């Protein structure tokens, strides 16, 4: 292990600190695993390759075998629908061969390749064999593609196309090159999560309309497929529209082998699974059953495609559920019984299962994110981390649940990480404000946090009001109150730790990106708790966001602040740019010049306003980065420069 030394002035003797290079520069991000014919396939986003994402495969349960890369450089698996993208790969098994499609970020096109599986798995060099070079199914420049599936019955790819400020369900024939899309259905606004029934004669998907976001209000749509694959008898099975009296959202529909349909919805205040079928019809009111009610979330906000929290497992359902900020795995039995899947990980995502096999992306406070493979029949499991742990286990600061009195006296959650060397007395404190703002901070090992705790800092990662994972009522605390609830809660968390003697009131920093960057700047404007701040691609001007941001979030501020026509005074009152004179402490900014969500002009204007008031400011821009940094060198620089900036201005 490589560690960067430090002076005794900053750290006790013999305490090793984690470098930014090891914290952020080496570990890939794992995404979207799936099981195919006793093999496991997954995606890796690699910071050392400028954030390029590739697909890998190996036999299920065989971590001793080297994975095979299916999409070598320069292929980059990435979609751009709704800017945040997700779900670039689709697979299907036919005649012992794997059909694989992907969307390449270099051209935005849909590509196809057919691979055959080896007959035996007796050596360490077993690989899938390529049947023919990849072929391009789509034409360039015809729209943005994502979130597809392979319809073997009709020999086609079905997915979402974003074109002319609208979403469409489209298809491409798997046997033709450079096609124009075939439009199956024109959506009113947004769509995603298409799922084909086992018999291939029914399709479901999720839709939502401006100004709602999908976790506020969305509908489950259903259609029967005609003889030629056309969508007939379309209609809504569940969910709500934004104008309905009682709002609810739906998440990730999927089918069971017997033709029953399962989806998560939150009409009861929590995202729980419900089930219907196997006979589905729009002629009568569809009967839904709720066999597994619980005060836990079986879903998450749909910022990107490809997320999965539940999956069919033989005659049961494997489900990840979040309660109190931590995740657990359950098996849901048809008669309503819920049983735990015993395993030591409580940060879970991308649940996939097939018969008795399961794969999940999993971590916990002391282990890196990795592939968790579970034999559901005998309970055995295996965890393959994405990288070796770059820090001694006894130096890891373990996240502690921290509840405090937040906005309007509401109990509010955070994760507190004490300094890893256990120093006595109040320590410097970094408050982290997550992005979203509808998201949640999780408990899995976060090496960026360990970077700070290894240097003697305490870190509090705040699930301020508006965060998901704690029920709809908790999430709706931020409705019309963005810039108030989040600000109060971040400041209250810091004050509670100061009062508890864990934080030094003269050494309080705050950082955040995107919406978290807005909360950071608003905290510096409207509270007197913080002494320095760091912002990544931060929202600073709410007024400009009403006209300058991208289509997906164009109506989000109606929920977070209120309709512009009625509440424009609140946009000005809460915008950090309009209140820059209130900020007196140093701020460092990081901005991608290809950002389409928060335009670089926002950061330039905010920095200029602070300089005008003689506030110490640094601005770092990155020509090839967008909204969310991917390149290893950029991520390392951001962390290192933030730490230097904090030390300089806090004099530590």
Q: What b/e sequence results for 316-335 when a residue is b if at least 16 CB atoms lie within 10 Å of its CB, and e otherwise?
A: bbbbbbbeebbbbbbbbeee
Structure tokens at 3: 């560690």
CA distances from 92 to 56, 98, 248 (A): 15, 6, 32
Does the structure show a pLDDT above 50 at 1? no
Distance, CA of 436 to CA of 300 (rounded, Å): 12
Does the structure show a pLDDT above 70 at 12? no
Does the structure show a pLDDT above 80 at 121? no
**Mean pLDDT estimate for the chain:** 93
Percent of the chain exceeding pLDDT 70 equals 97
Domain extents in the chain: 29-186, 391-650
| pLDDT in the model for residue 8 | 31
Structure tokens at 308: 């999965």
User: In which band, very low, low, confident or very high, does the pLDDT at 123 lie, cut at 50, 70 and 90?
Assistant: low
Q: Is 120 left (phi over 0), alpha (psi -120 to 50) or beta?
A: beta
Does the structure show a pLDDT above 50 at 555? yes
CA distances from 567 to 107, 427, 551, 608, 624 (A): 41, 41, 21, 27, 36
- Identify the H or E element spanning 568: helix 564-574
Distance, CA of 349 to CA of 347 (rounded, Å): 7
List, for residues 310-365, the tens digit of each pLDDT value. 999 988 999 999 999 999 999 999 889 999 999 999 999 999 999 999 999 999 99
CATH number of 391-650: 3.40.50.1820
Q: Is 153 left (phi over 0), alpha (psi -120 to 50) or beta?
A: alpha
List, for residues 139-154, the tens digit of each pLDDT value. 988 799 999 999 999 9
Query: Taking the alpha carbons of 609, 540, 603, 651 in that order, is the dihedral positive or negative?
Result: positive
Specify the DSSP class assigned to residue 286: P
463, 441 contact by CB (below 8 A): yes
List, for residues 201-235, the tens digit of each pLDDT value. 999 999 999 999 999 999 999 999 999 999 999 99
ω into 352 cis (within 30 of 0): no
Does the structure show a pLDDT above 50 at 4? no
pTM of the complete model beyond 0.85:
yes
Q: What is the mean pLDDT of residues 463-490?
A: 97
Residue scoring higher pLDDT (405 or 423): 405
Residue count (the chain): 652
Q: Which residues contact 12 (CB under 8 A, 6 or more apart)?
A: 421, 423, 456
Cβ atoms within 10 Å, residue 643: 19
| pLDDT in the model for residue 11 | 44
| pLDDT in the model for residue 577 | 96
| pLDDT in the model for residue 122 | 56
User: In which band, very low, low, confident or very high, does the pLDDT at 3 lie, cut at 50, 70 and 90?
Assistant: very low
Cβ atoms within 10 Å, residue 380: 11
List, for residues 601-628, the tens digit of each pLDDT value. 999 999 999 999 999 999 999 999 999 9
| pLDDT in the model for residue 284 | 65
User: In which band, very low, low, confident or very high, does the pLDDT at 15 lie, cut at 50, 70 and 90?
Assistant: low
């Amino acid at each position: 292990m490589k560690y960067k030394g430090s002076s005794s002035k900053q750290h006790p003797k013999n305490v090793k600190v984690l470098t930014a290079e090891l914290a952020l520069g080496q570990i890939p991000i794992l995404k979207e695993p799936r099981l195919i014919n006793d093999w496991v396939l997954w995606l890796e986003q690699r910071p050392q390759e400028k954030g390029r994402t590739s697909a890998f495969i190996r036999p299920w349960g065989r971590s001793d075998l080297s994975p095979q890369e299916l999409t070598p450089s320069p292929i980059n698996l990435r979609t751009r629908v709704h800017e945040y993208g997700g779900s670039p790969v689709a697979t299907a098994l036919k005649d012992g061969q794997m059909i694989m499609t992907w969307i390449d970020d270099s051209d935005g096109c849909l590509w196809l390749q057919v691979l055959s599986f080896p007959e035996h798995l007796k050596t360490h060099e077993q690989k899938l064999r390529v049947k023919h070079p990849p072929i391009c199914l789509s034409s360039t420049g015809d729209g943005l593609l994502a979130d597809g599936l392979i319809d073997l019955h009709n020999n086609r790819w079905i997915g979402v196309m974003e074109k002319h400020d609208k979403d469409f369900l489209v298809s491409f024939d798997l046997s033709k090159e450079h096609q124009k899309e075939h439009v199956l259905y024109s959506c009113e606004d947004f769509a995603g999560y298409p799922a084909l029934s086992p018999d291939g004669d029914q399709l479901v998907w999720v839709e939502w309309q401006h100004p709602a976001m999908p976790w506020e209000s969305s509908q489950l749509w259903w259609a029967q497929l005609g003889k030629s694959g056309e969508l007939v008898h379309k209609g809504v099975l569940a969910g709500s529209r934004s104008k309905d009296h009682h709002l609810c959202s739906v998440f990730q529909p999927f089918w069971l082998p017997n033709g029953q349909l399962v989806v998560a919805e939150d009409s009861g205040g929590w995202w729980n699974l419900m089930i219907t079928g196997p006979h589905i019809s729009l002629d009568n009111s569809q009967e839904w059953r709720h066999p597994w009610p619980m005060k836990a979330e079986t879903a998450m906000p749909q910022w990107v495609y490809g997320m999965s929290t539940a999956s069919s497992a033989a005659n049961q359902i494997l489900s990840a559920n979040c309660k109190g900020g931590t995740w657990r795995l359950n098996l849901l039995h048809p008669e309503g019984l819920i049983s735990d899947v015993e395993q030591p990980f409580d940060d879970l995502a991308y649940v996939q299962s097939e018969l008795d096999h399961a794969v999940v992306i999993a971590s916990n406070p002391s282990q890196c994110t990795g592939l968790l493979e579970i034999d559901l029949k005998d309970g055995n499991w295996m965890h393959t981390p994405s990288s070796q742990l770059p820090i001694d286990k006894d130096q890891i600061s373990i996240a502690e649940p921290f509840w405090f009195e937040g906005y309007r006296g509401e109990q509010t959650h955070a994760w507190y990480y004490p300094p890893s060397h256990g120093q006595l007395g109040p320590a410097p404190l970094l408050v982290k404000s997550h992005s979203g703002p509808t998201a949640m901070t999780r408990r899995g090992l976060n090496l960026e946090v360990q970077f700070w705790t290894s240097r003697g800092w305490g870190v509090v990662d705040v699930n301020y009001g508006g965060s998901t994972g704690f029920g709809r009522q908790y999430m709706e605390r931020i409705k019309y109150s963005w810039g108030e609830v989040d600000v109060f809660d971040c400041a209250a968390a810091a004050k509670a730790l100061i009062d508890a003697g864990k934080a030094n009131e003269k050494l309080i920093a705050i950082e955040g990106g995107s919406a978290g960057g807005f909360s950071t700047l608003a905290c510096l404007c409207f509270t007197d708790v913080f002494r320095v701040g760091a912002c990544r691609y931060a929202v600073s001007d709410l007024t400009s966001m009403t006209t300058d941001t991208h289509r997906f979030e164009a109506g989000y501020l109606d929920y977070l602040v209120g309709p512009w026509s009625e509440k424009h005074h609140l946009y000005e009152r809460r915008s950090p740019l309009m209140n820059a004179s209130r900020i007196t402490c140093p701020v460092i900014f990081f901005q991608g010049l290809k950002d389409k969500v928060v335009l670089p002009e926002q950061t330039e204007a905010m920095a200029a306003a602070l300089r005008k008031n003689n506030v110490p400011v640094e601005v770092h821009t990155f020509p090839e980065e967008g909204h969310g940094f991917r390149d290893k060198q950029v991520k390392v620089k951001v962390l290192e420069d933030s730490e230097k900036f904090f030390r300089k201005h806090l004099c530590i």
